Amino acid sequence: MNKANHENILFLGDENSPLLKWLRLNGESVIQTTQPFDSNFIDDKNIKFLVSYGFRHIIPKNILDQFPNRAINLHISLLPWNKGADPNLWSFIDGTPKGVTIHYLDAGIDTGDVIVQKEVLFDIQQETLSTSYQTLQSTIELLFQQNWQSIKNESCARQPQQHPGSLHKLKDKETISHLLTEGWDTPISKLQKNIDQTNFHE
């Protein structure tokens, strides 16, 4: 049967994501894309739920309005800290709390009501930017699996974000790229040493 005849989930993220595979293994009818889309696409594919995980495009408000309580985003920061781009990196640069959040999508950038989140603590002597990123990915994927049924059934909790927190754009990384002496494999301890040596926060 054509997927357009089902009530489909639109997965906005990588086609190789473990969560995409998990959803399908658990009987969900899922269509995946990393490209922008419009209302015609939503109607043609009979989309009933949006799951965004690493999606790089802003979803227009007129589309979000079609999905009250049925459009969520997975973000690897402890919102409201580090909304926007490179949240893991900025949590170490700014010394802000670290973790993961599943929240409802709204017209802002990572500003929607929080469904569930989990703080993650790191041993900075043992981690690199890459390994900490992988830990956050694994954590949020498990959190999604544990909470998917209540999210899907619209019975999950929701809590407005309580304060502004912080926001970073992609271009902001240009100002601190020199601190990443080994790219994403830079040890966190070395990153913090580089920050101290350059008096970055002064």
Beta-bridge partner residues of 192: none
Sign of CA dihedral 82, 168, 70, 141: negative
* Residue-level pLDDT, tens digit, the chain, 202 residues: 445 557 899 999 999 999 999 999 999 999 999 999 999 999 999 999 999 999 999 999 999 999 999 999 999 999 999 999 999 999 999 999 999 999 999 999 999 999 999 999 999 999 999 999 999 999 999 999 999 999 999 999 999 999 999 999 999 999 999 999 999 999 999 999 999 887 655 5
Contact 77, 101 (CB under 8 A): yes
Which residue segments constitute the domains of the chain, with CATH numbers given? 3-197 (3.40.50.12230)
Give pLDDT, residue 154: 94
